[in-house]
Structure 1
Amino acid sequence: MTGLDELDRESAQPGAGRGTADPVKALLHRHRELCERAVDPLEIAAGLEAHGVTDRTAARFRHRDVFSLAEELYARIPRDGDTSRPSADRATPGPRAGWVVLTLLPGALGLVSVAALRLTHGQTRVYAVSAGVLAVVLALRAALRRGGPLGTTPATPNPPTTGTAAWTCWLVGYALLGDGLLHTAITGGPDGLPTDGTGATDVTSDGGWALTVAPALALTLAFAPGAWSARLFAVRARRKVAASHGLEDFADSVRPLLFGAFALFLCALAALFTLCATVLDEPFPLHEVLTLGALFFLARLLTLHGFTHAPKVILAAAALAQAAVLAVVLTARLPGCGALAAPVETLVTAWDPSAIPALVCGAAALTLLIHAARTLTRASAHAQPEAPSLGDPA
């Protein structure tokens, strides 16, 4: 049943709005709580859209679009005093020093951790790297939970679960170890622990596989560009709500903003990874890092705007797909099971081990991008004033 059908049926009931002579009154009766809680007409328009009211529905109420209808509903709610309405065009709070530090902290600690990995040896290296990884995790946790452009607020619906965090950790872990492990497994290994990428012999025995830290370091450094890209999208989209004259007009104007913020983040990530791989003298699987970064950015952006189910499912599917590839290669060593690994070996031979995560994360990111283009272009996705902003309070 459409929202229009429900409204027509309810407006015909006694007491719902005193008949159909004033259909807007019936709509106001149905959504009175939304209208009383809204701080401006834009929130009412977004709430109506979330309840299935479209521009075509608004025409039945003698309005050109949902935004015009929302303005009348807002005007009909009595309010104390003659205070001016908040507007989506109001000045956006400037960035606070605390939020700037939080966005830069994961990358800074990532640099310290990599330095500890390269400059220490033996048992000291184990302690130093463990402390560095723990510090990076805590910094990311703080940045993601204390508001800000990529952080949740108390008003964020359905915050990310520990399950989502586990899948994310797996994907990052595969970026560190997966390519080397896959290559070693195909060639008959592994016969030892991973190296640190420098060929150091104090943490591995012969036959180990390479640990590549450049992808993980680039991702931590890219947290700040990701935060600013998310803020840019949220602020500009909020302004587009005020300037639009219909839901379709709003969607058409926000879609380029979404793609622009996404492209901006990818460009920053590509530059950071190029720098990291060059300085650390490690392999350069740019396609793998870009697809993984795209997956993380889109998943977080959707989560912040209240769409948590798709990111959770897609992250889990990507992690399980990578695990399945490794499991298939190892299972192929059993008698009579050699053919199982043939597709993986063919792909790795034709390209390289990074082709597996690039294809998996690329497909996952493309799925989320299509989903985001449909959901984040709705006015209801930008209804809350708590949209990501570096100036929001904790």
Structure 2
Amino acid sequence: MTKKAVIAMSGGVDSSTAALLTQEMGYETIGITLKLYTNEGICLTKTRTCCSLDDVEDARAVAAKLDMPFYVLNFTDDFEENVIERFVEAYESGYTPNPCIDCNRYIKFQSLLTRAEKLGFDYIVTGHYSRIEQDKVTGRYLLKKGLDDTKDQSYMLYTLTQEQLAKTLFPLGNMRKEHVREIAEEHGLVNARKRDSQDICFVPDGDYAGFIKRYKGIEFKPGNFVGTNGQIYGQHKGIIHYTIGQRKGLGISFPQPMFVGGIDTVKNEVLLCKAEELFSTELIARDINLISCERIDEPMRVLAKVRYRHKEQPATVIQTGEDEIKIVFDEPQRAITNGQAVVMYQDDVVVGGGIIKETQPVRADYTGD
């Protein structure tokens, strides 16, 4: 019996080429673009994002070229509840979230997979640069880095469960981006040379604080900038404007560079510190998902990264509860940020990850050497 796959099509070259390759592997396919929000829902009158009309039409054109049925599904309610509202609540709580991880977790690999199963399809397919393999010994599905290390997206996918991995295909995992574009060009796909999207889709101008104020319809109260010894430096514009490690946009000057080192939502204070005081060696992460193993029963050596563009660093992880891990880095790491994800690797295999909730206090004794 022919296997059936739903292709999640954003209108970009990656998902379009993934559709082409899935067909060439013999799958029966349909293309689906997810309508995630309206302009009014994100307080804009015009947008140039991954959910724009042009992107939908590019996806539709590719589906027509591949003689594949194409549909647009309305997921706006799910997206607002599980991505936009989580994003806003995180900033209000002094955290710095990664909404793309939530979109993968709750929309693409939960809501879309559920819809695909109801339609009688066996798999969902995306254009992510990652790989899925099954461990022949344990039977567990493994998430691995993509072959193209400049495009690897495994960090964004650490929330995938065993059930989701078993029903997901990543046709681009063993390919490099330029080869993907060449295949698209050879087959006459309209988006073969289309520029990749860089922004958070519902904040196309990159002004997170402006979006949150428009979305909530309120202004956020100013408060004090404070130093590590409690001294008051001046007034901040509202905590949603700041994230750990930030230097620019503080609005006050110092004889030496100063950075955001912490956010206290109870006192409505933003802590400023010197560069060397941004380093810490330990973090606590919760809301964890483990992929390569069911549980971490004893201290495990891993390579861990604390943000998408962070280079993995040697560390030891200890599972301290059913939904909590502690990670101790061999060397202090700069600007570990609550709300971001920490993802652990062994070689190119994703062990798992979680959301950073606590770090060591800002250190005054580390010189950065």
Q: Of the two structures, which has the highest relative contact order with CA contacts closer than 8 Å and spacing of 6 or more?
A: 1
Shorter-chain-normalised TM-score: which range? under 0.3
Look at both structures and tell me which one has the larger radius of gyration over its CA atoms: 1
Question: Higher helix fraction: Structure 1 or Structure 2?
Answer: 1
Question: Higher strand fraction: Structure 1 or Structure 2?
Answer: 2
